[in-house]
Amino acid sequence: MSILSSFIKFENLHELKRLCHWGPIIALTVIAVCSTMAVLDSIIWFWPLDSTGGSINFIMLINWTVLILYNYFNAMFVGPGYIPLGWKPENPQDMCYLQFCRVCQGYKAPRSHHCRKCNRCVMKMDHHCPWINNCCGHLNHAYFTSFLLLAPLGCIHATVIFVMTMYTQLYDRISFGWSSVRIDMSAVKRDHRPIIPFSVSAFAATLFAFGLALGTTIAVGMLFVIQMKVILRNKTSIEAWIEEKAKDRIQYYQTGEEFIFPYDLGSKWENFKQVFTWSGTPEGDGVEWPVHEKCHQHTLTIEQLKQKADKRVRSVQYRVIEDYNGVCCPLSKGVKTFFTTPCTEEPRIKLTKGEMIFATRSIKWWMYGDKVLGEEQTKAGVRIRGWFPRRCVEKCLYDTANDAAMNEEKKEK
Ligand SMILES: [Zn+2]
Ligand SMILES: [Zn+2]
């Protein structure tokens, strides 16, 4: 028993390290600032013990904080679920349908991918989220998405409290003259008897918290919409990219195959129930998945192997049509690009018109890829890879003159 408890303590200590990272530190600071200011302002604006409305407002406020932290810490500490090190499929014949992970010394189960940050193969990996300093995947998908819903809701409530507090406090101090409106921050003119005096610094703090809450509502709300799409289609952002490449591959080889994405169960409600359950634990063991009737367990992994064998398609080639200076949130590339900048520490790369890129992953407004470099740089082992806005590039079709020329070159060699 003592061995077990020391083991658990060790495990917990190890997991607590996840908090020592800029993501959780910033996220928890924002939660703390917004919650504290909302509680203090509620006391000034809507004293909870005098009226039912005040009590409800206060209880709801505490409720948001508790629910947000509950889902946040679960997303972080429950984690996505990792494929056991050295994992092999039950049926040895299935090995030929799966990729092997050299780091984990095991096969990659369907829907799993190796995360370089976590250094493990992650079950149904969607992405590595720096805000929880962990991957978003199979086991924590529901907690993660609930957090993304609750945080904006809590922030909207806090925003209302901040606005009402500032409005009522300022209104009580405004004096109207013939040609001027004066705000007297020294005293409240009308009789409210506030429990905490609303000073200039309290006003500044409220304004600051208001900005934080508003920003969080917009940014996290957008992430919630993205994750809901992932859940309702039962297709992670990585799988969406595999599907895009599958269509490219089929179009290029004109094989006449029809690629059916295997994990979309056909109805949004069915897909939703896979992730959100009453017990909090999602359906399935993270290795075997329910699939479309025309597919089998290895439909997607076989497609991945085909793509791997077919390097040309694995990295779809793009031509740069617009310069990009490499900043995280480029204002000049449109509002959607600005707000959907990938939440990762991976680098962005500068682009100059005319350059070529091998793209390996993408989200709606951004892509990730390798710059096609000159022969000398390639030989020297130089690699320039990172994210860039999707609107700065256009896809090179396989039958373009440029591509055909390259093929001929190869034949001659
Ligand atoms: Zn791995
Ligand atoms: Zn990860």
The separation between the first and the last C-alpha atoms of the chain, rounded to the nearest angstrom, is: 69
Alpha carbons 296 and 299: distance in angstroms, whole number: 6
Alpha carbons 203 and 172: distance in angstroms, whole number: 13
118 alpha carbon, closest ligand: 2
Tell me the average pLDDT across 47-57: 85
80 alpha carbon, closest ligand: 2
Q: Mark the residues whose beta carbon lies below 5 A from ion ligand 1.
A: 101, 103-104, 114, 121
Task: Judge whether 351 and 320 are in contact, CB under 8 Å.
Answer: yes
109 alpha carbon, closest ligand: 1
Average pLDDT, the chain: 85
108 alpha carbon, closest ligand: 1
- Judged against a pLDDT cut of 60, whether residue 404 lies above it is answered with no
116 alpha carbon, closest ligand: 2
Q: In this predicted model, what pLDDT tens digit does every residue of 353-402 receive, in sequence order?
A: 999 998 878 888 999 988 888 888 877 777 788 999 999 999 886 544 34
Q: Mark the residues whose beta carbon lies below 5 A from ion ligand 2.
A: 115, 117-118, 128, 135
345 alpha carbon, closest ligand: 2
Task: Judge whether 387 and 367 are in contact, CB under 8 Å.
Answer: yes
Kindly give the distance from the C-alpha atom of residue 82 to the centroid of ligand 2, in angstroms, as a whole number.
10
CA 74 distance to own-chain centroid? 16
Kindly give the distance from the C-alpha atom of residue 127 to the centroid of ligand 1, in angstroms, as a whole number.
14
Kindly give the distance from the C-alpha atom of residue 106 to the centroid of ligand 1, in angstroms, as a whole number.
7
Kindly give the distance from the C-alpha atom of residue 116 to the centroid of ligand 2, in angstroms, as a whole number.
7
Of residues 52 and 236, which shows the higher confidence score? 236
Q: In this predicted model, what pLDDT tens digit does every residue of 233-258 receive, in sequence order?
A: 999 999 998 998 888 888 888 778 88
- Judged against a pLDDT cut of 80, whether residue 187 lies above it is answered with no
| Two tokens, residue 12 | 């917990």
Task: Give me the pLDDT at residue 113, please.
Answer: 95
Kindly give the distance from the C-alpha atom of residue 226 to the centroid of ligand 2, in angstroms, as a whole number.
18
Please report which helix (H) or strand (E) contains residue 360, including its range: strand 356-362
Please report which helix (H) or strand (E) contains residue 316, including its range: strand 316-320
Q: Which domains are delineated in the chain?
A: 13-80+139-175+196-232 (no CATH), 315-399 (2.30.30.40)
Question: Which among 34, 101, 115, 129 is annotated as catalytic?
Answer: 129
Distances from the Cα of 8 to the Cαs of 1, 5, 186, in angstroms?
A: 11, 5, 55
Kindly give the distance from the C-alpha atom of residue 346 to the centroid of ligand 1, in angstroms, as a whole number.
19
Kindly give the distance from the C-alpha atom of residue 137 to the centroid of ligand 1, in angstroms, as a whole number.
14
pLDDT band at 185 (very low <50, low <70, confident <90, very high): low
Kindly give the distance from the C-alpha atom of residue 81 to the centroid of ligand 2, in angstroms, as a whole number.
10
pLDDT band at 190 (very low <50, low <70, confident <90, very high): low
Q: In this predicted model, what pLDDT tens digit does every residue of 338-360 receive, in sequence order?
A: 888 887 778 899 999 999 998 87
How many Cβ atoms sit within 10 Å of the Cβ of residue 323?
13
pLDDT band at 195 (very low <50, low <70, confident <90, very high): low
Kindly give the distance from the C-alpha atom of residue 134 to the centroid of ligand 1, in angstroms, as a whole number.
15
Alpha carbons 412 and 189: distance in angstroms, whole number: 90
Task: Judge whether 74 and 100 are in contact, CB under 8 Å.
Answer: no
Kindly give the distance from the C-alpha atom of residue 238 to the centroid of ligand 2, in angstroms, as a whole number.
13
Residue 129 annotated to the active site: yes
